Structure 1
């Protein structure tokens, strides 16, 4: 009873606090420690939902003969006060969460007020519970609460998962017919659907994580907090593909872990689109005949050929029963008996999901199994779909050993085998198919010469190898897979390339690799020192790729503690002294919490070791960006000794001043080398540039200094 009374007493002040928050929302700044309870909102919201529904069921469904019983009223009152208490806590934490970056006005504001109104109404119902005992008043109040609950929950789902999340699988947008190849626009029909299904749930006008909105051309080009999404001048094509290629468990990987991931085919489409200039209005058929994007897009689209189907229409109820989020079934066109089947979510695919289509196998004319773990034995199931015209097996796990099963598909016109392990002899068994017009064998075990022989033997079939006139096309760069840039011992260099047969050449001395003298990458390459890895891909018939590069930092010793004086700027405090010894190399986003920043101050950093180390060099990682007033210091004094009371000056570094025309933001590594000696303490004294007016217009402005790591060897 004491708990119940305590909760009842707390309802009024909590609801008053909630009303205060809402009325003065624009003036409230939520500190970091309050963001923690704010992030419990997704957990707490389930409690009022369940309690309100239980309360509604208790009021509406209980038999009349028990409603006068004391235990019935006690239970109803208990459910109501529990719902009111959890509702106000949920609304308060939701308000705190909404003050974090990435949530826009509009839907979020409506959601907040609906949640708050729900809390207020529950409080009023509990406070005046004795006066609304009549069935009419009580039922009206419960109905109002239930309606508010549904509306608030719907908007919450929209904010979290994007517009129309719940009904998306059965709405017309989801069942939009596959566009015609002759009419398809590259962005609207190929790229935008990928962004809608995999990206826009977190990057929309209601929930713009990282200040990034992806709903319009203008917002895509603008980018977000971390910068523009793509840059064709960069080896990795910029931020979007950087994040996509990070390991799934990495914090910055996109889409985040737990969300539907991009398939290899979708990544290939995005990469080809960006590499081609990220055009928004161009049609697929306007791309060059040998363009990779056009080749890939053609495997997804239907042609304008008119065709009359002589089979019966499927049972609509059966189609709806078989269609779900992972296996979407749609009609080829309005009124057509022909069906298109597309599989999604690799983890949910198995042969039983394919076998389940047997009741409608005669009506399936297009089957999309892109990036599914299809096995060779699954082709026997597919071979029963006698009216199949288009089959997409791109990036599946088939080996081609059972490809001959597809000879039963006498109506097959298009077969996509991109990214599989099929061989020329296996594909040759399908040449007798009377309707076959196109086979896509880009990035398979079939080389250009073999494809040409297949074409010669069967001129009616066009074997697409992904490019034409290779003398003018450049192969994409390799990928450096090493995630950690800091090495504390010998580490294997990990690189790969998505094109079979591509040769990777590399250098470790900062020079650009060439196709003749640079070493060929092998699994035995070890990284042992601070080095700049540069790599290029080469393949006969292609122009060599752009250079991709990554710097690695050697650190033999890790200081046991570090003290920095004075304290960093409050906006750029990082992890204090530990920031420069945690062996975590950051990117150039100096506001990401991995850098410490100072404004016009002399800095002293003292690094301590529990046991003396034989040290002969150290490297200091800093940022230089003239446009942002970020400079390297005028000087750095390097002191060392057995302890902090017995230090001697080892070296004074005087970094060169930046070129006044050089405005790029870059990472600068300042090296100090000296006679090796036993040290238990290193002290670094950073003196900023006194006057930066020669580089910027603001007279009297002071320079910023940012440090993220000190590597000791």
Structure 2
């Protein structure tokens, strides 16, 4: 038995020596090392096998510290220690080799934590090997010193491995104080550095750091973010819907490309909204939050994030009766807290035709909680400001585009906490603003579009040294501005027989030109839109705004669909998948179109099985067309359906095939767009219609998801 052990240990010692030499060669080869695919598989098993040497080497390191007096027990301890050290060192060698193979894959940097993890593993192997070979020569604390060094190396190497895999401070996070975002006053806060970057550091940096740039992408700083990864740019400035960052965030949680990966902390809805609006606003890495208008969504999201925990409670306001708040909410007025469980309240008004000052007076029971009032575009008059002055906790008051003339602005100086006031779009005069000098906390007044000249504005500013006057853009008549797009007044995108389309533009004297044949409108040949346009068939409108002295607006496109017959019921035989469940079967017949934000809750999504639905008409209808309103977004794995079937008849159990259509294959570079497919067939009397829509079964080879299933989205069915 002794001879067998000696022979076994001799073979193991030789293998250990060869392994040490091979590891040294791998380390010295560095970037010159080319790892074949079969070794990449072995490399990816590194996290699986690394636990074996840890246990074995710990046992081998601890045993020399166990006191024993019996010579036989000491001999047994020494033999077990030798076996543990040999097995531990051999398994450590295999683990180090696998780790070196893994480190050669894309997404890992040779610098930073990976460098220390790699060399720490090699030093651990060499220390364990030396302790095994010198175990009989080292006595007492010499042996124990090597053992202690091995334990320290185990901890240090494991720490850097955790940093590579899970991000900074992963090991010590449970015993270190929770990260608290520094409180930055909103007037000093930078949009990227203090609002956007902390989200990326907290939720993305564990996988996208210089040491472990998964997908070749690092988010350490703006330079690396702009460089993107191996799949392309991280975001497209101004277009969140087409930005890879947002696409990956919105993928189903089960999708392997969803970010962050399953099991890691996910972004909250507010954090996703911040990233969305940051990209939409140009994805700028400089600029301050205060440069955004207060009504801007990104400003409001940033303000909420920059507010310290419990910041709303620091106002020390009494909580309002929840039942009273609920009672005071109606279709034209909304009252809500500034944050969950917070006492301060915000009030917003809608629909100027339904407004009267009595709706403000009704809120007097909440005057000790209301800190914001948004009355923009409501017919508020000069005599109403005395009533507003009774809401003494107001911090924000928006009177933009109301009917005030400025005669009674002095009433608002009585508000002891008023910080921001908007009189934009009113005929307030420069002299009338001086009545606000006595407002003790006022720090910003929005005066754009009031007609106050830049000269008068400078004079007023000198009398308000602590107040910022925001006057917007003042043209000197030299530059030519670009018009914004025309707006559609109609809210319904689906009509029964016909509809009167109404478009408008907020700039006076603008001419709207349009097309209905799919061609691009121009400012010369396209027809001019008059008061309205009668639509009798499904139509796609493309329009631009034109005016002399201005640049033509970007084109805008709207789709309107005709649906002559409204079903009495729709039943889903197959259920939608993932988070794209909309409002169930009602989604197919609610006359609401989904938006380009495919997570808006207005789409049904199918990927692993077809959509199957049965439509019932109480009275038989003469049907000759069924239209499918779908969506295409290739970067989000959303493709046109592969095949559509329409079955119909008067007997639910005996339907015949009315139309079966195989749709054209997707092409690389097809734009993001809603698409309506019309299935025409000879007129048939039907009481029941069965719909089958099959998603793409195999994504084309030019797509990153080649070979997988594509999603098919649908938001409406139309029957004509």
Deviation at 1:245, TM superposition (A): 0.7
Please tell me whether the aligned partners of residues 186 and 284 of structure 1 are also in contact (alpha carbons under 8 angstroms). yes
TM-score, L = length of structure 2 = 0.50
Q: Among 339, 349, 365, which residue is 1:416 paired with?
A: 339
Q: In structure 2, which of residues 155, 158, 164 is the aligned counterpart of residue 159 of structure 1?
A: 164
Q: Which residue of 1 aligns with 2:434?
A: none
Write the mapping of 1:282-293 to structure 2, written as runs, cut at 5 A: 282-293=287-298
The 3 A distance-change label for structure 1 pair 70 and 511 is farther
For residue 394 of structure 2, the aligned residue among 452, 461, 485 is 461
Cα offsets for 1:636-679 (capped at 9, x unmatched): xxxxxxxxxxxxxxxxxxxxxxxxxxxx9999x9xxxxxxxxxx
Assess if the C-alpha contact under 8 Å between 2:218 and 2:224 holds in 1: yes
Report deviation, 1:59. 2.1
The superposition leaves residues 369-421 of structure 1 with CA deviations (integer Å, 9 ceiling, x where unpaired) of xxxxxxxxxxxxxxxxxx75489x9xxxxx966989xxxxxxxx9832599xx
- If you compute each CA radius of gyration, which structure gives the higher value, 1 or 2? 2
Root-mean-square deviation (Å) = 5.8
Moved more, 186-195 or 8-17: 8-17
Deviation at 1:208, TM superposition (A): 0.5
**Which of 254, 260, 263 is matched with 2:259 structurally?**
254
The structural deviation recorded for 1:508 is: 10
* Counterpart among 168, 185, 189 of residue 190 in structure 2: 185
**Matched residue pairs, number?**
450
Give the 3-state SS of the residue equivalent to 1:225 in structure 2.
coil
Asked whether 1:210 is paired with 2:215, we answer yes
Q: Is 1:20–2:25 an aligned residue pair?
A: yes
Aligned twin of 1:78: 83
1:70 and 1:127 map into 2 onto residues whose CA distance is 17
Say which SS state the counterpart of residue 517 (structure 1) adopts: strand
Contact 1:102–1:210 (Cα < 8 Å) also in 2:
yes
Q: Distance in 2 between matches of 1:291 and 1:249?
A: 34
1:196 is aligned to 2:129: no
Task: Please state how far the C-alpha of 1:262 moved relative to its aligned partner.
Answer: 0.2
Report how far residue 51 of structure 1 moved. Answer: 2.8
> Residue 77 of structure 1: CA displacement?
2.0
Deviation at 1:12, TM superposition (A): 2.5
Instruction: Give distance in 2, aligned partners of 1:258 and 1:21.
Output: 33
Query: Deviation at 1:21?
Result: 1.7
**SS class of match (1:247):** coil
SS at match of 1:177: coil
Quote the offset at 1:83 in angstroms: 1.8
- Residue 125, structure 1, aligned to residue 144, structure 2: no
| Cα distance in structure 2, aligned partners of 1:125 and 1:554 | 57
Contact 2:633 2:672 in 1 (8 A): no
**Aligned-partner Cα distance in 2 for 1:127–1:29:** 32
Partner of 1:633 in structure 2? Answer: none
TM-score by length of structure 1 reads 0.51
Aligned counterparts of 1:179 and 1:462: Cα–Cα separation in 2: 19
Shifted more, 221-230 versus 158-167: the winner is 158-167
The more displaced of 112-121 and 173-182 is 173-182
Residue of structure 1 equivalent to 2:286 = 281
Question: 1:615, CA displacement in angstroms?
Answer: 10
Task: Assess if the C-alpha contact under 8 Å between 1:586 and 1:708 holds in 2.
Answer: no
Q: Distance in 1 between matches of 2:207 and 2:705?
A: 32
In 2 relative to 1, CA 143–20 (structure 1 residues): closer, same or farther, beyond 3 Å?
same
The answer for the alignment partner of 1:102 in structure 2 is: 107
What displacement does 1:48 show? 2.2
Query: In terms of mean alpha carbon deviation, does 195-204 or 452-461 score higher?
Result: 452-461
Identify if the C-alpha distance between structure 1 residues 40 and 227 changes in structure 2 by more than 3 Å, giving closer, same or farther.
same
Cα distance, 1:615–1:710 mapped onto 2, change above 3 Å: farther
Shift of the 88–9 alpha-carbon distance from structure 1 to 2, 3 Å rule, reads: same
What is the CA distance between 1:198 and its match in structure 2? Answer: 0.2
Distance 2:661 2:89 in 1: 66
2:231 maps to 1:226: yes
- 2:53 pairs with 1:48: yes
The 2-side partners of 1:299 and 1:176 are apart by 13
Q: Please give the alpha-carbon distance, in whole angstroms, between the structure 1 residues aligned to 2:704 and 2:82.
A: 59
Contact 1:87 1:119 in 2 (8 A): yes
SS of 2:276 mapped into structure 1 = helix
Q: Please state how far the C-alpha of 1:109 moved relative to its aligned partner.
A: 2.8
For 1:298-697, what aligned pairs fall within 5 Å after superposition? 298-302=303-307, 366=311, 388-389=314-315, 415-417=338-340, 436=369, 438=371, 458=391, 460-461=393-394, 517-518=560-561, 523-524=584-585, 535-536=594-595, 587=634, 619-623=664-668
**Displacement of 1:151:** 2.1
Aligned-residue offset at 1:250: 0.7
**Helix, strand or coil for the counterpart of 1:18?**
helix
1:266 aligns with 2:309: no
CA distance in 2, matches of 1:102, 1:705: 21
**d(CA) in 1 for partners of 2:140, 2:633:** 64
SS of match in other structure, 1:156: helix
In structure 1, distance between residues paired with 2:708 and 2:86: 57
Deviations 1:598-640 (A, max 9, x none): xxxxxxxxxxxxxxxx99967444547xxxxxxxxxxxxxxxx
User: How many angstroms apart in 2 are the aligned matches of 1:42 and 1:534?
Assistant: 47
Cross-structure match for 1:38 = 43
Counterpart contact for 1:455–1:462, Cα < 8 Å: no
Query: Cα–Cα, structure 1 residues 167 and 70, in superposed 2: closer, same or farther, change >3 Å?
Result: closer
